[in-house]
A and B are shown apart, each in its own frame.
Chain A
């Protein structure tokens, strides 16, 4: 393979509310049986990128646990492998990662010791399927310095939380605004970049000298007129999960047959095996238009919802338009509507949760009595 991979998975934001309290965003469970980072990792593996570094910082525990073995994504190899880099104190550095560029700069040794000519840099908080080789071929064909994978968003979508780009006829990026107040176009950067390894090392070293730390602001935007930065348009499913609303919507997208089919087709998405028994439907279960993962036991009504692994739904409950994360115990006669219930939670019997017109994040932290 011609490239190594870097997955930036250290970030946090406050728009995830309680959901990012105990885990990194890249470790968010998605679509019933995955963690968000599985998509980036599986894309790497399916694109035959053999050497991948995951840069973690915020709530790294959750990701380290998920990545405790690299074999699920087929990275248990003699050549290459999966590396997890959390900030460490060294003789000449005691900083946390101060930004995406700094995170890579602090791991410059990894870049320098590799011999593959290219680097594929991606985020860990997006749900998509992409053959990075296609982007790499495009990058080489365009003789680009940096290629940014872009996507046209529907006109209705608020793009102000993304990097918004404008390209010329040749697809060269002429404008790049990070989180603009008023967006000039509906084409956004997906946070997937291809760059020559030596070029990256050079840019990172220059940034560090100038005490600049952000890859988008201090490299992409600052160098956009000097370096040949090209946009590669992807037109398949792509979604970023890093707000509660978009997290909810991304999960609900999997209720659509075409989205499920797209991700179920070869090459598939891999995740850590959990070894749970099949889902069980007892008398009284009435499940409609829902996704149910392994290990669930259902005794009542579930509609337009997603039950992650090992959810127990008691008798006479109603669960509607909700996402129940893994290992949640729901007591009898409970009503849940328009909610996201945090994992490993225990909801007492006879309780009522509703998000009203919005989405409520339920984080109860009750004690569970193990029967």
Chain B
């Protein structure tokens, strides 16, 4: 019988609606990051680097890009005879059929998958954080404490603690209390949404709470285990960990990569991050180019200037164009004499000649001022921008736009054009 000590369940079904048009047709874990990667590459690489070779990836929202990216797991060495990566979408059964209604509910619906590996421990991960972490050390901690549940937690500044789920521990790191987004936090240890469960404990809890509507780890499973007096421990993590849940934090995390020695260093030899290398050719930099403080992906052709930006693979930046403080994703083509300031341009967009992005004063976005802020221009994948238009700050564009969509050739700050995908 197959027996795996620890298997991982990676929750990748979320939409990540706060990323606006970036996730209108892909799941958040499939969004590009750092010129080459997708967000899910980080937990997947962490798994294989930690010696976990059995990973179930739970998908639900817009899974196509995610499925093609994962394939049979070759980039992460997760193509295994036993175990490896398995994509687990919601399914229909004879008695009931439902979508994944919550994080724990999704895991509950895949009890059979976990059972087939007969694990001792199950690692629960989410597919939307940027970090490097050795889960094996966390497992050692779990075993040492004879724990039932171990929650990875990291210290955050006290003033920000009220945004997180906070754990309060005794000297032995055993959790004594929880506070979900407390107004007056009593600790600054924030849960990172990474859990190790002893398999029996997880199974019992999932079955016991199977009728719970929208069953969630933070809201239901953990309190349930806690109330039954089970041994819950907090594993303190002090490395780099970034939640890229909002456009602002997503942009910031990318921009940090261009620092001289970035806090999150992708160039380290050990703990490599693996991804699907679709383009492997070198990038070409033309005689008229100027590039500094930037990272640029494979196969990209630069004929203009790039400053302080993250450019993905297979991008073309036309002659005379200037890109500043922006994220340009895979396969996007930028025409000539375009200026781009503080923008996020998703995959396979076409930007016409002489466009100006990120001009003028900031104004609150009319579609959703909370999502589209930070002064960013956000353009969803496969969008087309006609030549010669000016686009203001806090704007959102998605789909093939035409000159008539821009009165007097301008999209004012705070405005939006959504022609493809869902309106977010």
Which A residues have a C-beta under 8 Å from some C-beta of B?
31-34, 71, 254-255, 257, 260, 263-264, 270-271, 273-275, 277-295, 297, 306-308
| Beyond A278-B296, A287-B291, 10 additional pairs, beta carbon < 8 A | A275-B273, A277-B34, A277-B36, A278-B34, A280-B258, A280-B294, A286-B290, A291-B283, A294-B36, A294-B297
Q: Is the CB of B298 within 8 A of A281?
A: no
Interface residues of B in 239-277 (CB under 8 A from A): 258, 260, 266-267, 272-275, 277
Residues of B within 8 A of A275 (CB): 75, 272-275, 277
Interface residues of B in 28-72 (CB under 8 A from A): 34-36
B410 in contact (CB, < 8 A): no
Instruction: Report how far A34 CA is from B260 CA in the complex, Å.
Output: 28
Return the contact of A288 from the options B286, B292, B293, B297 (Cβ within 8 A): B286
Q: Is the CB of A273 within 8 A of B295?
A: no
Q: Is the CB of A287 within 8 A of B289?
A: yes
Sorted nearest first, the 9 A-B pairs with minimum C-beta distance are A32-B282, A277-B266, A278-B35, A293-B282, A291-B282, A289-B287, A287-B285, A278-B297, A273-B277
Q: Is the CB of A289 within 8 A of B286?
A: yes
B116 in contact (CB, < 8 A): no
Q: How many B residues have CB within 8 A of the partner chain?
A: 39
Instruction: Report how far A278 CA is from B310 CA in the complex, Å.
Output: 9
Assuming the contacts A71-B74, A290-B285, A293-B282, asked whether A264 and B292 have C-beta atoms less than 8 A apart, the reply is no
Assuming the contacts A275-B272, A283-B260, asked whether A32 and B74 have C-beta atoms less than 8 A apart, the reply is no
Nearest-neighbour CB distance to chain B for A294, whole angstroms, equals 5
Sample of 17 A–B contacts (CB below 8 Å)? A31-B282, A33-B282, A34-B280, A260-B284, A273-B75, A275-B275, A277-B34, A278-B34, A279-B283, A281-B291, A281-B294, A281-B306, A288-B285, A288-B286, A288-B288, A289-B286, A291-B282
Residues of A within 8 A of B291 (CB): 281, 285, 287
Residues of A within 8 A of B284 (CB): 255, 257, 260, 290-291
Residues of B within 8 A of A257 (CB): 284
Nearest-neighbour CB distance to chain B for A280, whole angstroms, equals 5
Interface residues of B in 301-348 (CB under 8 A from A): 306, 310-313
Assuming the contacts A280-B258, A280-B267, A294-B298, asked whether A285 and B292 have C-beta atoms less than 8 A apart, the reply is yes
Q: Is the CB of A264 within 8 A of B281?
A: yes
B375 in contact (CB, < 8 A): no
Q: Taking each of B75, B258, B260, B296, which has the highest tally of chain A beta carbons within 10 Å of its own beta carbon?
A: B296
B165 in contact (CB, < 8 A): no
B386 in contact (CB, < 8 A): no
Residues of B within 8 A of A290 (CB): 284-285
Assuming the contacts A255-B284, A291-B282, asked whether A282 and B292 have C-beta atoms less than 8 A apart, the reply is yes
Residues of B within 8 A of A274 (CB): 277, 280
B299 in contact (CB, < 8 A): yes
Q: Is the CB of A283 within 8 A of B280?
A: no
Residues of A within 8 A of B306 (CB): 281
Residues of A within 8 A of B289 (CB): 287-288
